[in-house]
Amino acid sequence: MKTIEVDGIKVRIQIWDTAGQERYQTITKQYYRRAQGIFLVYDISSERSYQHIMKWVSDVDEYAPEGVQKILIGNKADEEQKRQVGREQGQQLAKEYGMDFYETSACTNLNIKESFTRLTELVLQAHRKELDGLRTRASNELALAELEEDEGKPEGPANSSKTCWC
Ligand SMILES: Nc1nc2c(ncn2[C@@H]2O[C@H](COP(=O)(O)OP(=O)(O)OP(=O)(O)O)[C@@H](O)[C@H]2O)c(=O)[nH]1
């Protein structure tokens, strides 16, 4: 669990790091069903991991709920000297699938906060209606609380300056 702030709203996110290995796939697929946002991550120093993304995308399409938000991540951006996948390749693939794209590094923290914030934003946008309902309710409750507070107060100067009852 982690709390991040997006557009002034505190959002508690639950993060699952699913295993990449084939033998855990049965379990991994069960996580897809409850996901609202998914990072598809490859390693920029591994062409093989990049090639695997297509397979991940088709798994997500098959098992994740419709409307799930996806972002493509090229991780280990700190390993420039070992790079096998160009940034443009990542951008290109992301474009093909209509995803946002970030190169990140868990070692230097490059784009970690940014990518989590962006995915959360996308999930929130997808649930905008629900969110608008919450906002309206919150502001109505606030207005009601203010009204109740005002009603309890003695009359202010504007009213007390009146000299008649009309
Ligand atoms: N240099 C560098 N190493 C990283 C980075 N992120 C992860 N690693 C290293 O990569 C190795 C694999 O990391 P994991 O987090 O186990 O990768 P994973 O994709 O979850 O692996 P699976 O559990 O098999 O799915 C570890 O040795 C990490 O320290 C990064 O951004 N830069």
CB 78 less than 6 A from any atom of ligand 1 = yes
Is residue 4's pLDDT more than 80? yes
Confidence of residue 153 (pLDDT cuts 50, 70, 90): low
100: which strand partners?
Answer: 71
Complex confidence, ipTM: 0.94
Q: What is the mean pLDDT of residues 71-79?
A: 98
Look at the block and give the residue holding tokens 């290995």: 21
103: which strand partners?
Answer: 74
Is residue 76's pLDDT more than 70? yes
Distance from Cα 26 to the centre of ligand 1, integer Å: 21
Q: What is the mean pLDDT of residues 22-31?
A: 75
Return the beta strands (E) in 106-146 as ranges. Answer: none
Contact, 64 vs 29, CB < 8 A? no
CB 81 less than 6 A from any atom of ligand 1 = no
List, for residues 88-132, the tens digit of each pLDDT value: 999 999 999 999 999 999 999 999 999 999 999 999 888 876 667
Q: What is the mean pLDDT of residues 137-142?
A: 82
Q: Sketch out the chain's domains with CATH numbers.
A: 2-138 (3.40.50.300)
Question: What percent of the chain has pLDDT above 70?
Answer: 87
C-alpha 108: how far from its chain's center? 21
Q: What is the mean pLDDT of residues 119-146?
A: 82
Distance from Cα 66 to the centre of ligand 1, integer Å: 29
Q: What is the pTM of this model?
A: 0.79
CB 54 less than 6 A from any atom of ligand 1 = no
Alpha helices in the chain (DSSP H): 25-32, 47-63, 87-97, 112-126, 128-152, 157-160
User: What pLDDT does 155 receive?
Assistant: 56
Number of neighbours of residue 28 by Cβ within 10 angstroms: 18
Contact, 11 vs 3, CB < 8 A? yes
Contact, 46 vs 20, CB < 8 A? no
CB 106 less than 6 A from any atom of ligand 1 = yes
CB 20 less than 6 A from any atom of ligand 1 = yes
Is residue 149's pLDDT more than 50? yes
Contact, 84 vs 74, CB < 8 A? no
